[in-house]
Amino acid sequence: MAKIPLKYFFLFVAFVLPMSIFADSSKTIEFISSGVQIETDDTVFSDFKFGLTFWAINHKSFSLGLNGQYTGFGENVDAMPCLDIAGRYSIRMNRRFAFDISALGGAVFIDKKISPDVEISLEAKYFISPRWQFGITGGFQQIFDDAKTNVLGGGIFIEFRPDFHDEDNDWVDDKKDRCLDTPHKVIVDKYGCGLDSDGDGVFDGFDKCLHTPLAALVDSFGCPTDSDKDGVPDGVDRCADTPDNIPVDETGCPRDVDKDNVPDYIDSCANTPEGAIVDNYGCPIDSDEDGVPDGIDQCQKTPTGFEVDIFGCPTIPTANGMIIYDLFNNNLELTANAMNSLYRVVKRIRAYPDRITKISIYTDTEGSPKYNRNRARKVGRKLVEFLKKEGVDEDIVEIVPAGEKNPIIAGSSSKAKEKNRRAVFEVKD
C-alpha cells in the first residue's frame, strides 16, 4: 500500500468544524463507508473508502456542507484523500423514508498532486429516529487528473443530527416546534402542532375514525357516537331518540317521503299532496268534503254539492258586480222579476260562505233623502229574509241602505223608478 500523507485528508476538518459550529441552521454529520471500483487506464481495481460530511447549513429540502473522503486501502490503488463542497436536495416520502440527490465538487490529492473532482450520488435513507438515519448510497466520481480517473461505487452511511432536540418526541426540532407539549404518538404539522383532519377534537394518531362528519360527537378514540343506533352520529342527529329499526333521513329523523310531518312508519297515506293538512296518520283533512285537502283549499267552507276547481273554490263565480233592477214596488215588496233574479244570486252567495257579500239598496228620488233611506232599509230587511229562506246565512250578508244616491235616470217616471230601484252586489275578499 502506498505511503499516504494523512495530513491532507484531515485538513478538511479545519474548514468544516468552524462552518458547522457557527452556522445558524441545524447541522448534520454523515459517515459514509463503501466499496468502490476504480477504473483508470483501462485497469479496474476494487477498493474501500470512508467519508465524513458535515451538512452545516440546512434550509427546507436543501443542504450545504463539506465532505472529506479517503480512498486507497488496496495495494494497487494510490491514496486519494478528497475534500469537496457538497450540496444536496432531499425528497421526504414520509416520516421514516427519504431520497437524496447530492452533488459534490472540490479537490483530490492523488499521486502527490491536487486534482479537481466532481461527484454525483443518490441516497435512500431510513430514519431510525429524528437524530439518526441509516441508508444506502451509490454514485459516480470524476477526477480530472492525468489518468482521468473514474470512480464508481456504492455503500452504506449513517447520518447524525447532533443539535436536534425534541422534548415531546414529535419529530419536530424544538427550535421550530410551536407546540412543545404535544402528546406522544400524535401526528403533527411542520410546526409540531397536532393535526385534526376531521375537526372532531381528537388528534390524528389517536383518532381511529379519521373521516368523522362535521359536528358529530365522538368518543375518546375520535369515533362518532350514535345513541339511538340509527346510523346518524350524535351532534348531526336532530332526532336523537328514533325508535329501533326505523328508516331515517340524513339528519337522523324518521323518513317522511311526502313531507307531511308524519313519519313514513306511521303514515297511512304516503302520497299526500304538498301543502295539505293531515291528521295524525298522515292522511289529508278535507273539512268541507269537496275533494281538495285543507291547506291547499282556498275556499275551505264550500257547501256540499258545488263543483270546485283544483284550489277547492266553486267553479261558479261570486255575486260580485251583479245588479238587480226593479227591485221593489210602491208597497216596498220585492217584485216577481227581482225574486227570479235573486234565486240565481242565492246560489252564488251560498257557494262562498267564507266571504261577505255587501248589498247596496237604492231607491228612486221621490221624497226626501231621509224618507228614501228608510225605504231602502225596509227593502233590505225583506231581501235578507228572502235570502235566509233560501239557505243563506245572514251573517255573510251586509245591507247598505244607499237610498236615492247615484240615480241612473233622473225624475220620477216609471222607467226612472225601474232603473233606480235596484240592488248592487259587492263581494269582499
- pLDDT tens profile 308-358: 999 999 999 999 999 999 999 999 999 999 999 999 999 999 999 989 999
**What pLDDT score does 32 carry?**
75
Write down the mean pLDDT value for the chain: 88
The C-alpha atoms of residue 314 and residue 309 are separated, in whole angstroms, by 6
Give the confidence band of 15 by pLDDT, cuts at 50, 70, 90.
very low
- What's the pTM value of the predicted model, to 2 decimals? 0.51
pLDDT exceeds 60 at position 112 = yes
**What pLDDT score does 1 carry?**
37
Higher-pLDDT residue of 194, 21? 194
The C-alpha atoms of residue 101 and residue 106 are separated, in whole angstroms, by 17
Q: Is residue 6 exposed (0-12), middle (13-18) or buried (19+ Cβ within 10 Å)?
A: exposed
For 85, phi then psi, to 5°, come to -85, 130
**What pLDDT score does 389 carry?**
95
Ordered domains of the chain (ranges, CATH): 6-160 (2.40.160.20), 323-427 (3.30.1330.60)
Higher-pLDDT residue of 105, 22? 105
Give the confidence band of 41 by pLDDT, cuts at 50, 70, 90.
low
pLDDT, tens only, 219-244: 989 999 999 989 899 999 998 888 88
User: Among positive and negative, which fits the CA dihedral 153, 158, 160, 166?
Assistant: positive
**What pLDDT score does 10 carry?**
46
Question: How is residue 348 written as a grid cell?
Answer: 252564488
pLDDT exceeds 60 at position 16 = no
Read off the amino acid at residue 93.
M
pLDDT exceeds 70 at position 19 = no
Higher-pLDDT residue of 173, 37? 173
Give the confidence band of 42 by pLDDT, cuts at 50, 70, 90.
low
- CB atoms near residue 334 (< 10 Å): 20
Q: Are 217 and 231 in contact (CB under 8 A)?
A: no
For 19, phi then psi, to 5°, come to -60, -40
Read off the amino acid at residue 180.
L
**CA dihedral defined by 277, 282, 285, 291, rounded to 10 degrees?**
100
pLDDT, tens only, 59-98: 889 999 999 988 887 777 778 899 999 999 999 998 899 9
Instruction: Tell me the pairing of strands 357-362 and 397-403.
Output: parallel
**What pLDDT score does 95 carry?**
85
**How far lies 15's CA from each of 4, 6, 67, 234, 398, in Å?**
21, 16, 10, 64, 113
For 252, phi then psi, to 5°, come to 85, 10
pLDDT exceeds 90 at position 408 = yes
**What pLDDT score does 364 carry?**
95
Q: Is residue 234 exposed (0-12), middle (13-18) or buried (19+ Cβ within 10 Å)?
A: middle
